[in-house]
Amino acid sequence: MKIKNICCIGAGYVGGPTMAVIAQKCPEINVTVVDINENRIAAWNDEDVENIPIYEPGLSAVVKEARGRNLFFSTDVEAAIDSADMIFISVNTPTKTYGIGKGMAADLKFIELCARQIARVSKNDKIVVEKSTLPVRTAEALKNILDNTGNGVNYQILSNPEFLAEGTAVDDLMNPDRVLIGGDINTEGGNEAVQALVDIYAHWIPRERILTTNVWSSELSKLTANAFLAQRVSSINAMSELCEKTGADVNEVAKAVGMDSRIGQKFLKSSVGFGGSCFQKDILNLVYIAKSFGLNEVADYWHQVIIMNDHQKKRFASNIVKTLFNTVSGKKIAFLGWAFKKDTNDTRESSAIYVADYLLNEQAEIVVYDPKVKREQVYADLDYLNSRSEDENRQRVRVVNDPYEACKGSHAVAVLTEWDEFENYDWQKIYDDMLKPAFLFDGRKLLERKKKEEIGFEFYAIGS
Ligand code: NAD
Ligand code: UDX
């Protein structure tokens, strides 16, 4: 079966970049990315390709090449579903904020809405691909809805979880460690559908890196991969606290440990805590699933990864208060970085938000500089927590476009994101313009301690 038309529902951090790369690599396939968010679609269609809604190194060039040729962004969801042979569902699956499973389970309402819309609109057979991260056995529910509310056409459901990380999305998509495709491999129709998706990826990915499994293994592998990755960060962060008490240096420990080829070097960078839209949500979902099967030890084991992460954010913030003579009331604290990691404008679950909230509760004044995050986003993130009025957030937090302005007149500077540019600043100038003693808190272990101490900073870094 040759796929000619793809529709992707959801033009977000996954749908946008993934479809842009598929379109670039498969010029004979028409790819239409649809979304109900009109502003987002308008931004994807902006004449100036630098204004696309997602910042990812290399992404604008890919979009520039394919957009208007075989890559289209549209709000006409039904038309795109109707003409597609293959439909990717790439909508958000956030943690539920209401009802049963509140604060733990994945909210599948957007997924279900997509399934019902596909069922209503489709007039010919379709392959439906789960691109969103979903609880294991979601494909069963999807199939049920499609088969029972549809127009009698046939559906094959595939699971094709996305492993890209933000900030490196284009590289990850061009050269993935593996692509995972789960399908009903025991039936002819299922096999054909799997093969059709394999053929798409095989345009640029070596066949041996395209892994096929049953649907449930594929769904569960995605949750497992994120849980393992997050667990490494929590493990090294747990050690960072012990390092601070003992004179060990967490970077040195990570290097020594990571050189054991069984452990490996990657994902052992201690930080102010992991953020991003995936790790916390997916682990909470995993914990919820384990609990729902009565697997309490399994649930508790993974839950500890989140507990450790919350502790890391809190202890970074409380250390600032403690070090500033036990009060930050009325003191100006400059934040370098707001994004959850470098090279992205995404701030979802960023540690910076929680550190800021803690310090605002202690009556601090905060000034934020981030190279890619917009002012309105910082306020939206704080307002979402509902800790204080929107007016108060705007009075007590300032967002500026210049790092030197952010730091000027501050009691302390805190590094929350590991943007490369931070290390290259004129730190002497920053020091000269600060109140003394000038405190510097490095939540990313990014800055070189010796130089900063020579300038005169009181320097604190995670894990040493
Ligand atoms: P996102 O919020 O950036 O994008 C989702 C988009 O779907 C939004 O623009 C929203 O308007 C749209 N949408 C929701 N319901 C819709 C509907 N019924 N019709 C049309 N559009 C609809 O989310 P994301 O970060 O792209 O994540 C999408 C999925 O991919 C999630 O399940 C996530 O867990 C998973 N994932 C994310 C990442 C990542 O790094 N962000 C990586 C791997 C997997
Ligand atoms: C993650 C997974 O890596 C990716 O495979 C999945 O598809 C989506 O979730 P993402 O959240 O975009 O990707 O970024 P990632 O690089 O994993 O970083 C997540 C958080 O962990 C960031 O806040 C990052 O700063 C932090 N982190 C990561 C560390 O603190 N230390 C590390 O060693 C690695």
The CA–CA distances, whole Å, from 379 to 209, 276, 374, 388, 404 equal: 42, 17, 9, 12, 21
Q: Kindly report, residue by residue over 165-199, the tens digit of the pLDDT.
A: 999 999 999 999 999 999 998 999 999 999 999 99
342 CB less than 6 Å from ligand 1? no
Nearest ligand 1 atom to alpha carbon 161? 44
Superfamily classification of domain 5-213:
NAD(P)-binding Rossmann-like Domain (3.40.50.720)
How many whole angstroms separate alpha carbon 105 and alpha carbon 107?
6
Q: Is the ipTM of this complex over 0.95?
A: yes
- Could you confirm whether 278 is annotated as catalytic? yes
Q: Kindly report, residue by residue over 303-342, the tens digit of the pLDDT.
A: 999 999 999 999 999 999 999 999 999 999 999 999 999 9
CB atoms near residue 257 (< 10 Å): 15
Cα(177) to centroid(ligand 2), Å: 15
pLDDT at res. 1: 83
Q: Can you name the CATH fold of 216-464?
A: Rossmann fold (3.40.50)
CA 424 to chain centroid: 26
Q: Are 77 and 90 in contact (CB under 8 A)?
A: no
Residue minimizing CA distance to atom 34 of ligand 1 = 133
How many whole angstroms separate alpha carbon 21 and alpha carbon 158?
20
Q: Are 108 and 134 in contact (CB under 8 A)?
A: yes
Give residue 106's identity as a one-letter amino acid code: A
Our mutation pick for probing the ligand 1 site, out of 13, 93, 163, 164, counting the most ligand atoms within 8 A of Cβ, is: 13
Q: Are 418 and 447 in contact (CB under 8 A)?
A: no
User: How many residues make up the chain in this entry?
Assistant: 464
Residue minimizing CA distance to atom 32 of ligand 1 = 132
pLDDT at res. 150: 82
Kindly report, as residue ranges, where domains of CATH 3.40.50.720 are found in the chain: 5-213, 216-464
Cα(226) to centroid(ligand 2), Å: 9
- Give me the residues paired with residue 73 across strands: 33
- Give me the residues paired with residue 399 across strands: 368
Annotated binding-site positions: 10-15, 35, 40, 91-95, 132-133, 162-166, 222-226, 262, 269-275, 278-281, 340-341, 348, 444
Residue 397 has which token pair?
A: 């937090």
Q: CB neighbours of 260 closer than 8 A, spacing ≥ 6? A: none
Our mutation pick for probing the ligand 2 site, out of 14, 90, 166, counting the most ligand atoms within 8 A of Cβ, is: 166
Ranges of the chain whose pLDDT falls below 70: none
Q: CB neighbours of 290 closer than 8 A, spacing ≥ 6? A: 296, 298, 299, 302
pLDDT at res. 229: 98
Residue minimizing CA distance to atom 21 of ligand 1 = 35
Confidence (pTM): 0.96
How many whole angstroms separate alpha carbon 167 and alpha carbon 172?
9
Residue minimizing CA distance to atom 16 of ligand 2 = 165
91 CB less than 6 Å from ligand 1? yes
